[in-house]
């Protein structure tokens, strides 16, 4: 069995696409997924599955969420091992993170998890929004982001769609907590 983390895009944000996590958990269990648990209200679900094809599993989850909740959402999947690598491979140095923390009005480090690696053209479109305030580094299907003056006022954050790849973003604390929960499931 593989431990997966499903990250739903755009649920329970600003009063839109509301899903109760207890109902989402029941839906995953009804689908035959094992050891299902949710983390906070932003659509994070950990579970085990024997299904090995990520794309098929992702599409099945999106269809079922659409049927049960009447919401069209993108589901981004990562395995527990992939999540561990996300945490281990943060491309920003401790010095860069401390400097960003000193100037930030809120959370400073985020990860945008993409369905697939972006094209060079998408990366070039996004680069127009890199600044002294906001920067990013791409590693495969992850975009690590520093927002020195908070995510809410960031032109980079609102233009991540320039990559032209469906994605969902989580702050660094959530990324670390999900990785820890996945480790516990694997133990």
Domains of the chain: 2-84 (3.30.70.1280), 86-170 (3.30.70)
Q: Does pTM top 0.85 for this prediction?
A: yes
**What is the pLDDT at residue 106?**
64
3-state secondary structure 84-142: HHHHHCCCCCHHHHHHHHHHCCCCCEEEEEECCCCCHHHHHHHHCCCCCCEEEEEECCE
Question: What's the pLDDT band for 14 if we cut at 50, 70, 90?
Answer: low
Exposure of 60 in the CB half-sphere (CA atoms within 13 A)? 14
pLDDT of the residue at 107: 74
- pLDDT average, residue stretch 36-53: 92
Q: Tell me the pLDDT band of 104, cut-offs 50, 70 and 90.
A: low
- Is the per-residue pLDDT at 52 higher than 80? no
What was the pLDDT predicted at 42? 86
């Amino acid at each position: 069995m593989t431990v997966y983390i499903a990250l739903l895009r755009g649920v329970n944000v600003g009063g839109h696409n509301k899903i109760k996590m207890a109902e989402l958990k029941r839906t995953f269990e009804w689908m035959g997924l094992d050891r299902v648990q949710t983390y906070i209200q932003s659509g994070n679900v950990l579970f085990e599955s024997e299904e090995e094809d990520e794309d098929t599993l992702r599409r099945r989850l999106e269809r079922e969420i659409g049927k049960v909740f009447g919401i069209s959402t993108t589901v981004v999947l990562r395995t527990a091992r992939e999540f561990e690598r996300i945490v281990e491979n943060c491309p920003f140095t401790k010095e860069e993170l401390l400097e960003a923390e000193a100037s930030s009005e809120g959370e400073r480090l985020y990860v945008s998890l993409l369905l697939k690696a972006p094209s060079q053209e998408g990366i070039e479109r996004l680069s127009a929004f890199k600044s002294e305030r906001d920067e990013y580094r791409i590693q495969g299907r992850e975009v690590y982001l520093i927002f020195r003056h908070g995510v809410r006022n960031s032109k980079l954050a609102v233009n991540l769609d320039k990559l032209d790849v469906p994605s969902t973003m989580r702050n660094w604390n959530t990324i670390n907590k999900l990785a820890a929960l996945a480790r516990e499931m694997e133990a």
